[in-house]
Amino acid sequence: MENTMESVARAFSSHRFEDSLPQLDDDVAWELVGGEELRGKAAVVDVCTSLARDLQDVHTSFDQFRVVVAPDSVVVDSVASYLAMDGSISRVASCDIYDFADGRVVRIRSYNVELAPDTAG
């Protein structure tokens, strides 16, 4: 994978953590708005590893995936549908804002809202 700011942000927001985690700063902060704030690369890696495991048997499709690139940040606005093996479907609208310094992710702020399964993005 190319390690541009955009490619790193796209990988993280689309749950391809193995491609993006090497680009996290050791002191990265990940704010899950309305929830907790993770501090440090190890804490973020732990959550991403758990999330990847949870999504292993889930089919994920993106109904929307919009990326805006600025000089030192990238914003990813997405709507994803998750189809579990039991047939249940969930849809989540997300906005992830990535701040970079020296080509590495130093801060992520994530907004996530569960949508009704049939809500248009």
Is the pTM value of this prediction over 0.95? no
pLDDT at 2 over 90: no
Q: What is the dihedral of CA 78, 103, 33, 80, to 10 degrees?
A: 20
Domain 5-115 belongs in CATH node 3.40.605.10: no
> What helix, strand, coil percent values describe the chain, rounded to 5?
25, 50, 25
CA 87, 50, 22, 100 dihedral sign is positive
Q: Which tens digits make up the pLDDT trace of 35-45? A: 999 999 999 99
Listed by start position, the domains of the chain span 5-115
Strands 24-32 and 104-115: parallel
Q: What is the pLDDT of residues 105-115, one digit of tens each?
A: 999 999 999 99
State how far the Cα of 62 lies from the Cα of 6, in Å rounded to an integer.
17
Q: Write the pLDDT tens digit of every residue in 11-69.
A: 999 999 999 999 999 999 999 999 999 999 999 999 999 999 999 999 999 999 999 99
